[in-house]
Chains A and B, each alone.
Chain A
Amino acid sequence: MGEIKFMKGNEALAEAAIRSGLQGYFGYPITPQSEVVEYLAMQEPNHNYVLIQAESEVASVNMVYGAAAAGARVMTTTSSPGFSLMQEGVSYIACAELPCVFANIVRGGPGLGTIQASQGDYFQAVKGGGHGDYHLIVLAPNSVQEMVDHCRLAFELADKYRNPVMLLSDGSIGQMMEKVVLPEPIPYKPDKPWATTGKTPDRKRNIITSLYIQSEDMEKKNQTIQAKYQEITKNEIRYEKYRVDDAEIIISAFGLTSRICKKVVDLAREEGIKMGLFRPITVWPFPTDQFAEFAAQDRVKFFLSAEMNAGQMVEDIRLSVNGKKPVYFYGRQGGIVPTPEEILNAAKGHLK
């Protein structure tokens, strides 16, 4: 049993990173995420990680690039406008296949938006965000505990696939305090023969680049990355089911909204409505086959995706369901968290 604490989501994430062998953190303050860098700054004297408050998110993501390419276990965290600024660097990191962890503590947008929680960055997180064909592995925690658990998992997946991994969280989870069980600290010994640590006589020089100027080389690089994404899709899809076995209505949500939707399911069941929750934990890779299986079952009447945005994950559900059953959407925007009752009412509105 690990140590039990009462912590803020952002602080728990920072502590989890330390306990996962964090060697470098590069970040820039932005609400509602700043507690991560504040916590790491406070803890810095007790640990050996490198911490730089960079001059911008542009600089911090490129510091992540440099440190990851030098073989270190590294992370940066930010919130929506900051992650937009990072996109060029994220694309370079994806192409150079550098393991690292991002956390986006999402706030309402577009623009400067609001500092309240939102899920409006789903498209940016799962469809690429920057230029070119690439994917991050994207985990969507829905509690402070999962901020911790997913942090450790994110570092492991990043190393396993030489791929950037993102925690798609939000301002509520970042700011809320909950009981959390912290894992035992692990020492981190990188095994990265490809890293630029200085050319030794026993090997050729290591080059970290995302430049392949010959079209044939660039296509080959893309094919390599795509093959990796297929492997990740085969191995790493994660999800949670709640009362779905006899469900006629499949309600779906990720992150914070999935917790609200558990309550929606319980309320519906009290009224005799057979509802269940299917929650993608990895939003990329997306549990497409699982949605398709629900759609193929006669008893399932429709799907409803509840999100804190204008309807983003619902598009992936529709692609998965492929027209076999209706897929509806209910969402709130601007930093407003929907209540269980309003989501239930939205679902009931589709009952014939």
Chain B
Amino acid sequence: MKEGYEVVYKRPKTLLDKRMHYCPGCFHATIHKLLMEIVEEMGIQEKTVGVCPVGCSVFAYDYMDIDMQEAAHGRAAAVATAIKRMLPDRYVFSYQGDGDLAAIGTAETIHACNRGEKFTFIFINNGIYGMTGGQMAPTTLEGQKTTTSPYGRNVQKLGMPLKMAEMVSQLAGVAYAERVSCNTPANTRKAKKALKKAFEIQGKGLGTTFIEVASNCPSGWKCTPVESLDWLKNKVYPYFPLGVFKDVPAVKEEV
């Protein structure tokens, strides 16, 4: 450290110093870092167990210096449910993509939320199946082209994209539901705040916490990282608005 300088930014110790396999510009890396910053700041490395899904983040355990389990496609919510029930004083999170959480795993997601399982969902919604090469997801936007909707998503045949944060906020078991993004430094800071709040609520045992990240996929969307940010702003946020959909602790405090 040079004299007269101070550290304003560093990698948290809980994030392993490894080259990530994620594509340039992908939010996964950002979210991984935010998450591990929170684990470090809260001093809960010894008490945290993560569950990663089938999808691009299947290797999340390669980067996070915490105990982790890799779940079958769509089943992270069931796996996380059991971990949290067996080890109720631990901080448990599932880290899932949209195909995982909102297509093949919809039942597990809804029922874990409805039971009020006291773990945190981290839902990376990039509107596409990234790992398998850019197929249509339940969250693909109307008219959006993917390898399995080459003429654009036809909502007459396929239905509208699922709004998961809004859906789960209707369930009594959910204590906190927010949609965040990482397209700007300001939004990234808000995302971290939301994640931290979710972990704090989990620590208090108030119910399920659900953080949806309106994320990007430059490779799957066939665009540059910068263009992916424009797509987010112009197409994604209008349909998937950022914001808090449920905040039981805040409501309680108001009362």
Binding site for B on A (CB under 8 A): 23-24, 26, 50, 52, 54-56, 58-60, 62-67, 69-72, 74, 88-89, 92, 196-201, 205-211
Contacts and interface: CB of A to CB of B under 8 A. Distances in A.
Given A52-B85, A206-B67, A199 B45 contact: yes
Given A55-B107, A59-B111, A65-B71, A199 B82 contact: no
Q: Which of B65, B86, B111 has the most CB of A within 10 A?
A: B86
A182 to B, nearest CB: 25
30 contacts: A24-B86, A50-B86, A52-B82, A55-B107, A55-B111, A58-B78, A58-B108, A59-B78, A59-B107, A62-B108, A63-B78, A65-B72, A65-B75, A65-B79, A65-B82, A66-B83, A67-B83, A69-B79, A70-B83, A70-B87, A72-B86, A197-B87, A198-B49, A199-B46, A199-B65, A200-B46, A205-B61, A207-B69, A208-B68, A211-B59
A206 B115 CA distance: 28
A299 B107 CA distance: 59
Interface in B85-124: 85-87, 90, 107-108, 111, 115
A210 B108 CA distance: 20
A139 to B, nearest CB: 24
B51 A89 contact: no
A209 B70 contact: yes
Given A197-B49, A205-B67, A55 B81 contact: no
Interface residues of B, number: 33
B75 A196 contact: no
Given A196-B49, A205-B68, A211-B70, A89 B75 contact: yes
Q: Which of B47, B78, B80, B108 has the most CB of A within 10 A?
A: B78
Contacts of B149: none
A88 B108 CA distance: 15
Contacts of B61: 205, 207, 209
B80 to A, nearest CB: 7
B66 interface: yes
B58 interface: yes
Given A63-B81, A66-B78, A67-B82, A89 B45 contact: no
A211 B70 CA distance: 8
Contacts of B49: 70, 196-198
A240 to B, nearest CB: 36
Contacts of A23: 86
B75 A56 contact: no
Q: Which of A52, A88, A196, A211 has the most CB of B within 10 A?
A: A196
A62 B68 contact: no
Given A55-B107, A89-B75, A211-B58, A63 B67 contact: no
Contacts of B108: 55, 58-59, 62
B71 A62 contact: yes
B48 interface: yes
B61 to A, nearest CB: 5
Contacts of B59: 211
Contact of A208 (B58, B69, B80, B111): B69
Interface string B206-233: 0000000000000000000000000000
Contacts of B90: 197-198
Given A55-B107, A63-B81, A199-B65, 7 more contacts: A50-B86, A62-B82, A63-B79, A69-B79, A198-B46, A206-B67, A211-B59
Contacts of B47: 198
A58 B87 CA distance: 22
Contacts of B86: 23-24, 50, 66-67, 70-72
Interface in B40-59: 45-49, 51, 58-59
A89 to B, nearest CB: 6
A197 B67 CA distance: 7
A24 B82 contact: yes
Nearest to A65: B79
A58 B47 CA distance: 27
Q: Which of A54, A59, A65, A66 has the most CB of B within 10 A?
A: A66
A64 B83 CA distance: 9
Nearest to A204: B65
B70 A208 contact: yes
Contacts of B81: 52, 63, 66
A129 to B, nearest CB: 15
A70 B90 CA distance: 11
A182 B51 CA distance: 38
Contacts of B115: 52
A66 B51 contact: yes
A197 B51 CA distance: 12
A24 B70 CA distance: 20
Nearest to B16: A205
A54 B79 CA distance: 12
A207 B82 contact: no
